C-alpha cells in the first residue's frame, strides 16, 4: 500500500525499528532526513523507507557498526565473494513488510 508520506509510527511498524533508533540514525546518516509537517511531526517518504531498510540490513543483519554502515552508504558496498543465495531486494522487502502490517491491522479488526 503505497503512500506519499509515513509517520514515524508507521515506519517503525513497517521496519520493526523503534522510533528512538530512527531519530538517532537521523543524527548519523545525512541522507536520512525526513521532513516535518506543520505540527512538527516527521514525514518519511518511500526513499527514506528504502534507506532505513538498507541500514537495518547493514547494522542488524550484517553486523556493521554505524560508522561502517555510513561508509558503505556513502561509498557503495564492497564486492561480494559469497555464493549464497541473494536476499530479496530492499524495495521488495519494504513492500512485503507494508503488506504484513496492513494484514495484521486488518486481522485485528476482525
How many domains does the chain divide into?
Answer: 1
Cα within 13 Å of Cα(86), Cβ side: 6
- Sign (positive or negative) of CA dihedral 42, 48, 50, 53: negative
User: Taking the chain, what is the end-to-end CA distance rounded to the nearest angstrom?
Assistant: 19
In 1-110 the beta strands, taken as DSSP E runs, fall at: 35-36, 42-43
Residue with more model confidence, 78 or 71: 71
Q: Which domain holds residue 23?
A: 8-109
pTM comes to 0.74
The answer to whether residue 2 sits within a structural domain is no
Residue 69 binned pLDDT confidence (cut-offs 50, 70, 90) = very high
In a domain, 21, yes or no: yes
CATH number of the domain encompassing residue 92: 1.10.1660
pLDDT at residue 82 is higher than 60: no
3 within a domain of the structure (yes/no):
no
Average pLDDT estimate for 83-107: 83
Amino acid at each position: 500500500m503505497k503512500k506519499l508520506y509515513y509517520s514515524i509510527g508507521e515506519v517503525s511498524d513497517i521496519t520493526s525499528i523503534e522510533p528512538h533508533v530512527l531519530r538517532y540514525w537521523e543524527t548519523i546518516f545525512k541522507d536520512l532526513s525526513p521532513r516535518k509537517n506543520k505540527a512538527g511531526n516527521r514525514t518519511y517518504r518511500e526513499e527514506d523507507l528504502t534507506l532505513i531498510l538498507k541500514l537495518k540490513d547493514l547494522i542488524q543483519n550484517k553486523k556493521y557498526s554505524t560508522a561502517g554502515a555510513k561508509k558503505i552508504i556513502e561509498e557503495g558496498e564492497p564486492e561480494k565473494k559469497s555464493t549464497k543465495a541473494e536476499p530479496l531486494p530492499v524495495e521488495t522487502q519494504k513492500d512485503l513488510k507494508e503488506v504484513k502490517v496492513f494484514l495484521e491491522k486488518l486481522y485485528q479488526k476482525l
